[in-house]
Copies of this chain bind each other. A is one copy, B any other.
């Protein structure tokens, strides 16, 4: 049985409408954000489906049915996540059965998959786990390659309704393996447009300045969307081309070029790129190693750099010096420098970068010292004051940049870590790569 996306009037409505429904009371009350919706929005968008609504609903069967009915009433594709587990709280199966009028049936394919999965873990299914094989009549069972709960999809009226488990890794794999081919099939048959969009991540220019620089260059219109998203990591410019046809990508590229012409110097990456990946690629391409001395960022720079697989190739060590004595012991910062200028000063930032570079033998030393707050600020040295140092053998003396960031403790730490990595990125850009890399911004 194969289900594809119904397409009653492809010639009128070129872009299919998608909707995401996240199910689980913990998403409403427990202080937890629904992270599934991020990859789902990206995945649907890549398949040419515009996500118009997302909703979150608790474990109440009637509420789930209401949310799904509303979604299916206005979208071409609805992806629901959560509520497929073995416990009594898991009501998605029942809710779908209720509002579509298709009774639950124990399905052999689902039973086999559940038994197989549990056998891998050396267990036999409990009665509760076997309940996961109940699937609405007429639905296609979607295999779960890493968990026990199968998903399913069915056509209801003009909508394709997909139910995936709530566990992000499981939902992500099932979406990629089972749904992406199905959604693409729907597209190619109906001649729908692909939505193309691009995110350009910038650092160092306020949102208002970016808007001002782009005004008059690219114009939002019915088929084009321009958005700005500000966070402590910078401003992301989002460009979306909704119009159909083969020229969509060309139009998007022209808009992207226009943005680069105006603010290209501030763009550090596109789409899923992160600052730590960009810097890591630059270091690898130049055969350079890095050592970091952190104070107010407390290990965040090290944490970010080591989120990248393979970072041990270029990252040698990080010293987090949260006391003055640690700065003396670990980096050899002279005590008199801290007495004269204070631990948060350009002189100490430079000495930290130089100290960690010399002690580690790494090619580059990067340092941060600052006041993350909320306490510890003075009139002369307010909360948010941060100095960033960079040292390399080629330099006669360390380079130092001074910043004053706003925000709370967490935001100041994030901004300082981003500024430090960006400082390193900009310096590396000026150095020619020694090793060739196929992709190096």
Residues of B contacting A229 with CB < 8 Å?
Answer: 26, 30-32
Instruction: Give CA–CA (A33, B301) in the complex, Å.
Output: 22
Q: Give the oligomeric copy count.
A: 2
Residue-wise, chain A 194-229 has the 8 Å CB interface mask toward B (1 for contact) of 000101000000000001000000001000010111
**Among A302, A321, A410, which residue has the most Cβ atoms of chain B within 10 A?**
A302
Minimum CB–CB distance for A227 against chain B, Å: 5
Tell yes or no: A238 within 8 A of B by CB.
yes
Tell yes or no: A163 within 8 A of B by CB.
no
Minimum CB–CB distance for A307 against chain B, Å: 6
Interface 9-residue window, one of A62-70, A183-191, A347-355, A384-392: A62-70
Q: By the criterion CB–CB under 8 Å, are B322 and A316 in contact?
A: yes
Q: By the criterion CB–CB under 8 Å, are B318 and A317 in contact?
A: no
Instruction: Give CA–CA (A30, B231) in the complex, Å.
Output: 12
Residues of B contacting A127 with CB < 8 Å?
Answer: none
Tell yes or no: A413 within 8 A of B by CB.
yes
Tell yes or no: A329 within 8 A of B by CB.
yes
**Considering the complex, which residues of chain A in the window 1-51 have a beta carbon less than 8 Å from any beta carbon of chain B?**
25-35, 37-38, 41-42, 45, 51
Tell yes or no: A326 within 8 A of B by CB.
yes
Tell yes or no: A298 within 8 A of B by CB.
yes
Residue-wise, chain A 143-173 has the 8 Å CB interface mask toward B (1 for contact) of 0000000000000000000000000010000
Q: By the criterion CB–CB under 8 Å, are B28 and A51 in contact?
A: yes
Residues of B contacting A67 with CB < 8 Å?
Answer: 53
Q: Is the interface of A mostly helix, strand, loop or mixed?
A: mixed
Residue of B nearest to A39 (CB): B31
Residue-wise, chain A 318-361 has the 8 Å CB interface mask toward B (1 for contact) of 11111101100110000000000000000000000000000111
Q: By the criterion CB–CB under 8 Å, are B56 and A54 in contact?
A: yes
Tell yes or no: A373 within 8 A of B by CB.
yes
Of B59, B231, B303, B330, which one neighbours A300 at CB under 8 angstroms?
B303
Q: By the criterion CB–CB under 8 Å, are B319 and A312 in contact?
A: no
Q: By the criterion CB–CB under 8 Å, are B326 and A316 in contact?
A: yes
Q: By the criterion CB–CB under 8 Å, are A320 and B302 in contact?
A: yes
Q: By the criterion CB–CB under 8 Å, are A66 and B57 in contact?
A: no
Q: By the criterion CB–CB under 8 Å, are B25 and A373 in contact?
A: no
Instruction: Give CA–CA (A59, B53) in the complex, Å.
Output: 11
Residues of B contacting A317 with CB < 8 Å?
Answer: 319-323, 326, 329-330
Instruction: Give CA–CA (A57, B70) in the complex, Å.
Output: 14
Q: By the criterion CB–CB under 8 Å, are A238 and B25 in contact?
A: yes
Tell yes or no: A58 within 8 A of B by CB.
yes
Residue of B nearest to A42 (CB): B31
Tell yes or no: A251 within 8 A of B by CB.
no
Residue of B nearest to A410 (CB): B307
Instruction: Give CA–CA (A123, B315) in the complex, Å.
Output: 44
Residues of B contacting A225 with CB < 8 Å?
Answer: 25, 59
Residue-wise, chain A 56-87 has the 8 Å CB interface mask toward B (1 for contact) of 11111001001100100010000000000001
Minimum CB–CB distance for A45 against chain B, Å: 7
Q: By the criterion CB–CB under 8 Å, are A408 and B169 in contact?
A: yes
Q: By the criterion CB–CB under 8 Å, are A329 and B299 in contact?
A: no
Tell yes or no: A363 within 8 A of B by CB.
no
9 pairs, CB–CB < 8 Å, chain A vs chain B: A26-B228, A29-B238, A31-B38, A294-B299, A298-B318, A299-B299, A306-B320, A307-B410, A317-B323
**Residues of A in contact with B (beta carbons under 8 Å apart):** 25-35, 37-38, 41-42, 45, 51-60, 63, 66-67, 70, 74, 87-89, 169, 197, 199, 211, 220, 225, 227-229, 231, 236, 238, 240, 272, 292, 294, 296-303, 305-307, 309-312, 315-323, 325-326, 329-330, 359-361, 372-375, 407-410, 413
